[in-house]
Amino acid sequence: MSDLLLKTAVAAKVRVSGWTDTTVAAVRRRSASADDKGQTAVEYLGIIAVVVAIVVLIANTNLGQTIVDKLTTQIGKVAP
């Protein structure tokens, strides 16, 4: 019975070790690659902050009302 337990423990250790080695190798390859693909949350947050700043600027100046007036005039010309 003790031999079976020892063989099972060794087999489990070998499988876990192999899985760990391949996982660590994959993570290292991924982090070592210089070409990151995709955006990070920080980049998306920066874009959102810029858009919000532009909207706030337009809403708090006469420029916003001017744009609305001109758009309304153009829409009125198209749709009688």
Helical residues (DSSP H) of 1-80, grouped into ranges = 2-32, 41-59, 62-78
b (16+ CB within 10 A) / e for 67-80 = eeeeeeeeeeeeee
Q: Which residue has the higher pLDDT, 26 or 48?
A: 48
* pLDDT tens column, 32-79: 665 666 667 888 888 899 988 888 877 777 877 788 888 889 888 887
Estimate the crossing angle of helix 62-78 against helix 41-59, to 10 degrees: 80
Gap between the Cα atoms of 53 and 60, Å rounded: 11
pTM of the model: 0.38
Q: Where are the domains of the chain?
A: 1-37, 39-80
